[in-house]
Structure formats: C-alpha cells, structure tokens
Amino acid sequence: MKSFFASLILLLSIGNCLADELPNIVLIMADDMGYADAGFTGATDIQTPNLDALAASGVTFTSGYVTHPYCGPSRAGLLSGRYQQRFGFETNPAYDPSNPYLGIDPSVTLFPKRLQKAGYRTGVIGKWHLGAAAPFHPNKRGFDYFYGFLGGGHDYFKIDLRDPVKEGYTQALERNGKPAEFEGYLTTALSIDAADFVSSSKDAPFFLYLAFNAPHAPLQAPAEAIAKYSSIQDGKRRRYAAMVDVMDAGIGQVLTALEKNSLRENTLVFFLSDNGGPQPTQSEPGKWNGSSNAPFRGGKGNLYDGGVHVPFIASWPAKIKPGTVYHKPVISLDIAATAVAVAGNESQPASLMEGANLIPLLDQSSDNFAHEFLYWREGGVRWSILDRKRTKHVADKAGGKSELFHLPADASEKNNRVTEERALADQLRNHWLSWDKANVASRIGNYHQYHQHRDQFFIDSIPGQATAEGYSPTPVPTFK
C-alpha cells in the first residue's frame, strides 16, 4: 500500500511539474504545398505518414488560412502576428544583401523576440525571405540560431558561387552569419540540423521555426525518392511527390528527436504551408509545380481559397485532445498569439498582434470564434474578406468585378452570389474598407521590377550600352 501511494504521489508530482514547465514550440512550414497533398487532407498518391500521425495526435484545422497567397508576405504575417499590410510588406523582396531597405521593417517586433524575453532559446532553420541585408538578418530579429538561406529559394543539391547571383539559389548557406555548406539533399540537411537543434536545446524551453523550401521550385529530389513514385505518370507530379515525401521523412526526424529526449508531451507543434500550390494559368501554363489544391479554386497568387487555404495542424499531447477536428476559420496570425500566450509573455506590446490564442478555443463545447472576419489585400488592389460563417467576398483581379461565395456549400467557389445578395456583399466590403484604413502602402517593389531597374542602372553606368532586355524606361521607384 505504501508503494502504491508513493507511486501516486510521484505521478502527481511529475504532472504538476509538467504543468508548470513552459512548453517547447516547434513551427514547421512547407513552401508552395498544395492543400490536398497530404494523407490527412485527402492525398492517395503521396505518402505522408509523419504528417498524418501529427494530425491524428492533435487538431486538424479544416479552415486554416494564411495572410497572403505567396511566400514573403505570408511569412511576414506569420512571424509578426500582424497583417503584413500594417507595415508595408506586400510583395516578395528581391535578394540583395547590399540593400538595407529591402526587407521587413526593423521596427516590427517578431514573436520569437517576445519568446526570447520569456526565456526561450530560439532557432530558425531553412528559408527566411524577409530581407537579405544586415538589418533583416534572423540573428537580429529574435533568433539565437540560424542555419539556412536568406532568399526565396535554393537549389536542392548544389552551391556554386560561379552562377549568376540573381535570387541567390546557388549561393552559400549561412550558419549564424558565417558561410555554410550542406551535404546531399537540402531538405534532409535542414531536417538533420533541426533534429540536432532539438537535442541541443533540451535543458531549456525552446522555439524552433523549421522553414522548408520544399516543395517549392526547382523540382528536384533524390533519385530513389522519385523512383518510389514511379506509378505517377506525370513527371512534375512525380518529382513533387518525392519532394513532399522527403520533407515528411524530415518532419519524422524532428518528432523522433523530441520523443528520444522526452520532450514530445510538452511540445506544441504547428504545421502549415505558406500558401497554396502554384497552378497553371492561360498566361503561365508552365506555372504548375505538380501540386493539388482540391477542392479549392486557384492556387498560389490567387485570393481564392486555392491560394490561401492551407493544410494546418497543431499538436500538443499535454493539452490538445488527439483526433480533434476544428472547422471554424483560423489564420496563421493565431500561431504567434498562441505561442506568446503559452510562453507566458503577454506583455503590453504584444497587444499589437492580431491573432487569437487557439488553445482555449479547442474545447468543442465552446461557441467562441477566433475571428469575426479574416482579411486579405494583395498589391494594394486585390482584396478579400471571409466572415465567421465562411461567406467570402473576393475581388481576385485588379479592377475586376467582385464575387460572393458561401464556402460551406461551395468550397470550389463556383456559384457567385454577389448579384442575388448585394446587401450582404456591400456589408462585407464595408468591413474590409474599415480594416484597410489601418494599412499602409508597400515599402518594397516587385522583385522582377527591382532586378530590371538594377540591371539598367549598371548598363547606364557604361557609356554606349544597350537597354536591358525587357526593360521599360520608367522612373526608378523609391524603395523606402
């Protein structure tokens, strides 16, 4: 009997200690992954056993959104916990380590900085894409550790400094400000480094942001992974599937590291994609990367659900009931708010964040919503708004007519109700206009235009040189 009570006291003591400990937080982001390309979202031709297990261990958000339909701005919203239009980050910045203005505003506090103040060790591994110059460097923006690349993508097999720099796809990686290499396949190298970060951080609470560039172009994968999907006839889809497969294996490595170090129970793990998978269009038929956003309309770059509705998971065995499914709309902003809340750092400056702490909302008996409305703006002209009943008012083309959809009955956004329900459409539009008043113009220009202007600058500096191909001699924009 004494041994029974001693065991009971020990178990209660362990439980109380766990409850008092700050949770570790791991945020895993895929790049350009289609909504339907994991088993837990319906894929049958791509194997994602680790993502499926992660979803089963926690909550799947079936209406999970990001703040922007492509890479850089989506990440700016994610890490700031604010709509990126509030601080003028509305397009992908060009890769230019010499430009101290081309990145996320240094006055914007990213939530890892808040976690540092709460006693967390913080690390980012993989893709940054928030500015390549010194003021924007991850080590200056709340991360104790950085291993990865500063631009929007990278070759998966090589570093070659003899290649044209442009967007830096073959430039050296970095480890805390110093040049770094990788062996083999980049996705695997990032995964190994992430697992090592977990093991080396086990003695204190930590935050890890693992930002894969998979399955973003270039479509490259190990030969053995491609061979695994030989049954897929389309070549793009086959390589894409292999990229997702290797990423899933890497996620498994990180989860295994948590388990081996007895950290899994009290670690909050998030997974999502930065936007939907690119889809072919009439003007860009080769844009497709092999992804599927079914059943949604459009893809990367669109404000239809195919561009912003993403696979979205949260798992925390100590707090979240396994197998939970949450249907109400949530957004990537909520990750920052949740992380700061569970870390116990709800200081006054954090009130600027616009997300919601998701943990209290996962009680299915609650009628509370994380948000009354979700908002989007792209390029200062395209816009969208979603209400909590998942009625969506969207203008996906600049200057084009707006459309109204009831997503619960029309996930593919085919039945435009804007004429029949003009009053509701106007009401939603007015809510969007009210939200937009707090936004500012983009601080940075489109990276394609930036490269054209920079090329022309160099051409103009040499007397007698011709105009750069494709360059239109318009005034050079000010990048503030």
Residue 366 predicted with pLDDT over 90: no
* pLDDT category of residue 177 using cuts at 50, 70 and 90: very high
Average model confidence (pLDDT) for the chain? 91
Q: Which residue reads 């209400």 in tokens?
A: 387
pLDDT per position as a tens digit, 287-323? 999 999 999 999 999 999 999 999 999 999 999 999 9
pLDDT per position as a tens digit, 106-120? 999 999 999 999 999
pLDDT, position 113: 97
Rounded to 5 degrees, what angle do the CA atoms 371, 373, 379 make? Answer: 125
Instruction: Kindly state the tokens that stand for 308.
Output: 């912003």
Residue 464 predicted with pLDDT over 90: no
Whole-number CA gyration radius for the chain: 23
pLDDT per position as a tens digit, 245-294? 999 999 999 999 999 999 999 999 999 999 999 999 888 888 999 999 99
Percent of the chain whose pLDDT exceeds 70: 90
Q: Where are the domains of the chain?
A: 22-362
Residue 21 predicted with pLDDT over 80: yes
Closest CA to 206 of 79, 318, 116: 116
Phi, psi of 11, deg, nearest 5: -65, -45
Rounded CA separation 18/326 (Å):
26
Rounded CA separation 473/453 (Å):
9
pLDDT, position 318: 97
Residue 480 predicted with pLDDT over 70: no
Rounded CA separation 354/107 (Å):
17
Percent of the chain whose pLDDT exceeds 90: 82
The mean pLDDT value for 79-88 works out to 98
Closest CA to 396 of 372, 369, 373, 377: 377
- Find out whether the peptide bond into 218 is cis, omega within 30 degrees of 0: yes
Write 36-40 long-range contacts (CB < 8 A, 24+).
Answer: 36/292, 36/293, 36/294, 36/295, 37/215, 37/240, 37/241, 37/244, 37/277, 37/291, 37/292, 37/311, 38/244, 38/248, 38/311, 40/311, 40/313
CB environment 10-28: b (16+ within 10 A), e (fewer): eeeeeeeeeeeebbbbbbb
Q: Is residue 71 annotated as a catalytic residue, yes or no?
A: yes
User: Out of 68, 129, 154, 393, which one is annotated catalytic?
Assistant: 129
CATH level 3 topology of 22-362: Alkaline Phosphatase, subunit A (3.40.720)
Rounded CA separation 401/308 (Å):
20
Phi, psi of 255, deg, nearest 5: -65, -35
Residue 365 predicted with pLDDT over 80: no
The 3-class secondary structure across the chain, one letter per residue, is: CHHHHHHHHHHHHHHHHHHHCCCEEEEEEECCCCCCCCHHHCCCCCCCHHHHHHHHCCEEECCEECCCCCHHHHHHHHHHCCCHHHHCCCCCCCCCCCCCCCECCCCCCCHHHHHHHCCCEEEEEEECCCECCHHHCHHHCCCCEEEEECCCCCCCCCCCCCCCCCCCCCCCEEECCEEECCCCCHHHHHHHHHHHHHHHCCCCCEEEEEECCCCCCCCCCCHHHHHHCCCCCCHHHHHHHHHHHHHHHHHHHHHHHHHHCCCCCCEEEEEEECCCCCCCCCCCCCCCCCCCCCCCCCCCCCCCHHHHECCEEEECCCCCCCCEEECCCEECHHHHHHHHHHCCCCCHHHHHCCCCCCHHHHCCCCCCCCCCEEEEEECCCEEEEEECCCEEEEECCCCCCCEEEECCCCCCCCCCCCCCCHHHHHHHHHHHHHHHCCCCCCCCCCHHHHHHHHHHHHHHCCCCCCCCCCCCCCCCCCCC
pLDDT per position as a tens digit, 393-415? 999 998 889 999 999 999 999 99
User: Out of 17, 68, 71, 309, which one is annotated catalytic?
Assistant: 71
The mean pLDDT value for 134-139 works out to 98
The residue type at 279: Q
Closest CA to 304 of 91, 65, 42: 65
pLDDT, position 12: 38
Q: Is residue 68 annotated as a catalytic residue, yes or no?
A: no
Rounded CA separation 377/307 (Å):
12
